[in-house]
Structure 1
Amino acid sequence: MPLSEYEQRVLEQMERQLTSDDPRLASTLQSRGSRGIARWVIAGAGFTVGLLVLVAGAAFSQLWLGVIGFLLMFAAGVFAFALPRQSGPIGVVDAKGGVAPRSAAKPKKAAGGFMHRFEERWDRRRDEGR
């Protein structure tokens, strides 16, 4: 069933708000669908082989074989969920089309640290909701 016009407007508004509030999260969520099926097939095969090796290690009472199986399973999981490497210029493209060095792209850390920033965001969101 397609969305109504009102639901489409609300969804677009939520997307714009997410992009303005946290652009890094929005770009991460948009790039998630770009993974190829081959990556998942390789990870699934690696996980299956690791599981078989782990079970064989348990069946033959060989600890080292079980450890190798577990490491294969872990590596397959990391491969499946790790972000693919980005190609292209390293850094941030500015408004003029130039590439700024990566060090210029990182914002300065707040004086209060993580918890201070977290509390500020919480207070700001709570105040916006009123």
Structure 2
Amino acid sequence: MPLSEHEQRMLEQMERALYAEDPKFATALEGSGLRTYTRRRVYQAVAGFLVGIALLMAGMVAQQIWVSVVGFLVMLGCAVLAVTGWRKAPKPGEQPSGVPGGGSRNSPRQRRSMMDRIEQRWQRRRDEQGQ
């Protein structure tokens, strides 16, 4: 069940009031979660790559081939994660489509998609309560 016109107007009014009262907080709620997530993933992959180098070297020093092979595989896996994460990361100031907060805050399309998401959540909650 979609929101009524009155509920939609009330929701838009609350959103505007939030932006007017505390724009910094409202912007933080929008967030740039994908960019933060991919950056963190790349950093973790780089750290894993360094661990792989350490394992590779330790295996060579200890003359344990299996440790070197594990180190190489860790390096390879982390390199793949870092490269794919780096390519998927949005550029600073750019928001990919489908990310909350993407695009202009005042665009009707973005506001409509926000309303669609809220309506979907509302419907999902009502369906869960009814079962």
**TM-score, normalised to structure 1's length?**
0.37
Higher helix proportion, which one? 2
Q: Which structure exhibits the higher relative contact order, with contacts defined as CA atoms closer than 8 Å and separated by 6 or more residues?
A: 2
**TM-score, normalised to structure 2's length?**
0.37
